[in-house]
Amino acid sequence: MAKIIPFKAVLPTADKVALVTTRSYDEYSATELASWLDFNPFSFLHIMSPAYINQQKIGINERFKMVANKYNDFKRDGILVKQDKPAMYLYKIETKKNVFVGIMAGTSVADYQDNHIKKHENTLEYRVNTLKDYFKITQFNTEPVLMMYPENDALQQWISDKQKTTPLYDFSTTNREKHTLWSIDSQEEIDSITNLFDSFENLYIADGHHRSASAHLLHQENTDSSNHKLDYFMSFLISENNIKINEYNRLVHDLNNHSITDFLSLLDKDFVVIKRDEQIWKPTQKFEFGMYLEGNFYSLQLKEIPNSTNKLETLDAQLLYDKILNPILGIEDLRTDSRIDYIPGNKSLLEMIDKIDNGAFKIGFNLFPASIEEIKYLADNDLTMPPKSTYIEPKFRNGLIIYEL
């Protein structure tokens, strides 16, 4: 049984919602960030920016307190308003290529602890602790955990019917996305949704492993038994058939002292290496990899398909590490090795080409995306993917829905 609840959200006023909401802070270049902060006094970036500025001069807890102060300023000025009634929210995101529709609700820390909320990624302890401290000091969260549920006809029909009603918000953004939000606040609707989720044995984290682990840690450390808001954390619940899984492509600074001839010869042990004439080439199937080196694309076709029922051993990201990155290029730790970097698969391959052609990196690898089945298998068997295996969409607007702690 997956337990979800409504909550009293803090929302922007309808006349300012398009001005308040932002992309994730780290998606902005320094120039773009400065422009938004200078010309848009309503941007949620004004709340987030104290957490990132003057890091050498101001301690992290002080910066988090500055975030809390700015957040409270926005509430005092009536830009952000606490809602009177607990609600869930149906949220639709329309990008240039995809349409995502899901439900924003509180998900249970107890379900997370009891492994009814499944994970497929490891977390870094320092990041979990930092996020926990951030939540504890600021007392709010605006970035939901992306959570998958199994396809369900009754739930999809309810979602389809709900979209025919009048939305709470309907606005567009400068990156050409359209965002529509409906409030789910009647007891009849809430009961209907919670009963449907009761039928799901498990939910699966698609993105947000550090956020959910931080919520769990904050709950464990909580000494105020009357604060039941810490028993839940905000999640965006979406059908497993409605997410978009992108790969993370890899860039490496050097060939680990191998000449190009020797490197290609070493690849020949495990791969059929074919030089491609195309200006841009991407793998079209599992067990196939793209490689960009010295201005040319190559396809790497695995010679021997692994005969294993363990999907971790047959995961393309793991195979690339086991066959090339570790034994040939000498990459040990994918999280910490400074010789490797990553580009999400929703970015153009031209970005990878440009970084290699300009000499910042020597070689790049592009992968075929992992599947839902692989993610669920790993989660169900308590296995974890290598770092930066998936870049999963949708991504959300900061400042649209805020869960107070």
Burial of 336 (0-12, 13-18, 19+ CB in 10 A): exposed
For 276, the enclosing helix (H) or strand (E) is: strand 271-276
pLDDT at 255: 97
Q: Which of 16, 11, 5, 7 is nearest to 82 (CA)?
A: 11
Rounded distance between C-alpha atoms, residue 44 and residue 115, angstroms: 34
What pLDDT score does 58 carry?
Answer: 84
Please give the Cα distance from 277 to 311 (Å, whole number): 32
Domain boundaries, the chain: 4-242, 245-390
Decide: 85 and 11 in contact? Cβ < 8 Å.
Answer: no
Query: How far from 276 is each of 174, 290, 291, 303, 365, CA to CA, in Å?
Result: 37, 10, 10, 18, 14
Asked whether the whole model's pTM tops 0.75, one would answer yes
Distances (CA, A) of 222 to 115, 133, 210, 212, 250: 20, 12, 18, 15, 40
Round to whole Å and give the CA distance between 233 and 37.
Answer: 29
Alpha-carbon span 221 to 225, nearest angstrom: 11
Q: What is the DSSP letter of 346?
A: T
HSE (side-chain half, CA atoms, 13 Å) at 180: 15
Calculated CA dihedral for residues 384, 390, 393, 395, nearest 10 degrees? 80
Tell me the longest C-alpha to C-alpha distance in the chain: 68
Per-position pLDDT tens, the chain of length 405: 899 999 999 999 999 999 999 999 888 988 999 999 999 999 999 999 887 777 667 889 999 999 999 999 999 999 999 999 999 999 999 999 999 999 999 999 999 999 999 999 888 899 999 999 999 999 999 999 999 999 999 999 999 999 999 999 999 999 999 999 999 999 999 999 999 999 999 999 999 999 999 999 999 999 888 889 999 999 999 999 999 999 999 999 999 999 999 999 999 999 999 999 888 999 999 999 999 999 999 999 999 998 888 889 999 999 999 999 999 999 999 888 999 999 999 999 999 999 999 999 999 999 999 999 999 999 999 999 988 899 999 999 999 999 999
Query: Residue 60: in which H helix or E strand, if any?
Result: helix 60-76
CA gap 248, 368 in Å, rounded: 9
Distance from C-alpha of 383 to C-alpha of 209, rounded to nearest angstrom: 14
- What radius of gyration do the chain's Cα atoms show? 23
* 12: preceding bond cis by omega (within 30 degrees): no
How far lies 5's CA from each of 135, 195, 228, 268, in Å?
20, 11, 11, 55
Q: CATH for 245-390, among 3.30.110.30, 3.30.1760.10, 3.40.50.620, 3.40.50.720? A: 3.30.1760.10
Contact 160, 253 (CB under 8 A): no
* The residue to which tokens 């959300």 are assigned: 396
Residues forming beta bridges with residue 344, ordered by sequence position: 248
pLDDT of residue 311: 87
Gap between the Cα atoms of 42 and 13, Å rounded: 11
Question: In the prediction, which pLDDT does 371 show?
Answer: 95
User: What span, in angstroms and rounded, lies between the C-alpha atoms of 362 and 364?
Assistant: 7
For residue 169, give every residue at least 6 positions away whose Cβ sits within 8 Å of its Cβ, in sequence order, or none. 14, 17, 179, 180, 181, 400
**DSSP E strands, 50-199:** 80-82, 88-94, 99-108, 117-118, 140-141, 145-149, 169-172, 178-184
User: Cα separation of 207 and 366, whole Å?
Assistant: 21
Does the CA dihedral 14-70-91-152 come out positive or negative?
negative
Residue 279 confidence (pLDDT): 85
The reported pLDDT for the residue numbered 197 is: 97
Locate tokens 């999640």: which residue? 235
So what's the pLDDT on residue 124?
A: 84
